[in-house]
Amino acid sequence: MKIALISDLDPSRGGGARRAQFALVIYRLRGIEAKPTPPITRNIVVTCDVDAYLSYHENFESLTKALVGGLACGVPKIALLQGIPFYRDVNRRRNILRALSLFEKYGGSYGAAYLALRRAVVLRPPSIFGKVLRLFNGVIHVSRAIPEETGIPGIVLDPGVSLPKKEIELAMKMRAKANRRDIIYVGRPVPEKGVIEAVLAYAHIAQKTTHRLIIIAPRHFGVKAALKAAKKLGISHKVFHKTPQSRLDLLQAYATSKALVYPSHDDSYSLIVYEALLTSTPVVAYDIPALRLNFAQRGATGLTLISEGDYIQLGEALLQALEKNTDTTPPHTTPLEKILTQEAEIIKALAKKNIITNTANPYNTRNSNLEIERININQQQGDT
C-alpha cells in the first residue's frame, strides 16, 4: 500500500515532525510505503500513484493538500490530528489571546508577524475546520484532549503519544534526586506555550529563592523576548538560556533540575511534562485538558495544575514545589513503536474504504454528541 504523507519532517519544528520520521520506519515494517511530501506553500502538486492521502498535521496547509490530493485522485483522505486546530471554548481562546498580549507587552517588537498570524488563527471561525474535516474519510486523534477541545469526532488513540522505548528506559535511569539546581522552562518559546508567563511566575518568587530560571529552547525570537522581559522585571541576572545539543542533553537537563514550570495554553498531550515526570522532576503547569485528561486523571504524581492564566499562583505553586522533595510518577503509557504500529493498521483500514464514514457534525458543542471510537493501546498490545 502507498500513501502520500503530508508532513514537515524537520525535527527542529517540534515533536510532530519527529513523530513523522518514526512513522515512516514503522509504516514500512507494516506494509505501508509512505511518500513524504511537505505542506503547501504556494502551489499544490498532486501525485496520483498512491492509495490514500494522509495529513499528518492539524494545520490548514497540511489538511488542504491532503484534501485536494485525495479529491483529485479519487482516493481516501485521512487526517491525523497531532495538535488542536481550534478551541471551541471561548475562555480557552481568550486565554491564548491574553498570552499573545503579554508577549507583546513584555517582549517588545520580537515576533510581531507571528503574533498577528496567531491572532488570526485563534479568531478564525471553528466551523471552517469542521467543514474541511467533514470531507475526510477518517479522522484520527493522538490524544483524547483533541475531541474534548474541538468537538471533532473520530478515532482516538488512547494513549497516542509517547517516547521510543530506549528513551523511556534512559529517562527512568536518571531519577536520582541529588545535584538538582535550577528551575527550567522547556519548549518552543512562543506566546501560546507560556514562555513570558514562565518569566512572570518566576519574577514573583525570584527574591525568595536562590534557584535560577533556565529557558531550555532552540534559538528563537521567543527567547529574546523572554530575556527582554526578565530585564524589564529586574531579574535578568537570574534568568538564562540554554540550547540542548542532543536528546541526551535535554534529558540530563530535566534530571538536574529542581522543577519544571510549564504555563502552556496549547497542547494536546505534552511530551515535555511526560519527560520531566519520567526523570522525577516536579511540574507546575496550567490546568488545561491535555494535562488534566492525560496526566492528572491517569494517576500522575508530582504534577501541580493551576488555573489557566494565573501566573501569580503559578509562582506560588512553583515555590512550594522547590521547598518539597516531591517524588513523581508518570502516567503509564506505551512506547511509541507500539503506538505507531496500531496507527499503521488503522490507516490501512481507512485507506481501503473510499467512502466518507465520518458523517457526524464535526463541530458539536456537546460531548454527548461526539461519535468517537476510542482505541486503548495499552489493552490491545500489552504493557511495556
Q: What is the pLDDT of residue 130?
A: 82
- Of 136 and 376, the structure prediction assigns the larger pLDDT to 136
The 10s digit of each residue's pLDDT in 76-109 is 999 999 999 999 999 999 999 999 999 999 987 8
Domains with residue ranges and CATH for the chain: 2-88+125-162+335-381 (3.40.50.2000), 165-323 (3.40.50.2000)
- Of 45 and 344, the structure prediction assigns the larger pLDDT to 344
> What's the mean pLDDT in 145-154?
93
Q: What is the pLDDT of residue 270?
A: 95
- Structure-block grid coordinates of residue 282: 516536579
- Asked if residue 289 has pLDDT above 70, the reply is yes
> What's the mean pLDDT in 39-43?
66
Provide the CB-side half-sphere exposure for 274 (13 A, CA): 24
- Asked if residue 353 has pLDDT above 60, the reply is yes
pTM of the complete model: 0.89
In the chain, % of residues over pLDDT 90: 69
Q: What is the pLDDT of residue 324?
A: 86
- Asked if residue 36 has pLDDT above 50, the reply is yes
Q: What is the pLDDT of residue 370?
A: 39
The 10s digit of each residue's pLDDT in 355-375 is 554 444 333 333 333 344 555
> What's the mean pLDDT in 328-350?
94
In degrees and rounded to multiples of 5, residue 156 shows phi and psi of: -110, 120
H/E stretch holding 138 reads strand 138-141
Q: pLDDT tier at 240 (50, 70, 90 boundaries)?
A: very high
Q: What is the DSSP letter of 47?
A: -
Q: What is the pLDDT of residue 373?
A: 54
Q: What is the pLDDT of residue 42?
A: 61
Q: What is the pLDDT of residue 375?
A: 55
The 10s digit of each residue's pLDDT in 203-235 is 999 999 999 999 999 888 999 999 999 999 999
Q: What is the pLDDT of residue 224?
A: 95
Q: What is the pLDDT of residue 137?
A: 93
**Which stretch of 10-14, 252-256, 300-304, 322-326 has the lowest confidence by average pLDDT?**
10-14
The 10s digit of each residue's pLDDT in 5-34 is 999 887 666 778 889 999 999 999 999 999
Q: What is the pLDDT of residue 365?
A: 30
Q: How much is the CA Rg of the chain, to the nearest whole Å?
A: 21
- Asked if residue 41 has pLDDT above 90, the reply is no
Measured distance CA(262)–CA(283) in Å, rounded: 7
Average pLDDT, the chain: 88
Measured distance CA(186)–CA(196) in Å, rounded: 12
Q: Which amino acid is at 319?
A: L
**Which stretch of 41-45, 68-72, 315-319, 373-377 has the lowest confidence by average pLDDT?**
373-377
Measured distance CA(65)–CA(60) in Å, rounded: 9
Length of the chain: 384
In the chain, % of residues over pLDDT 70: 89
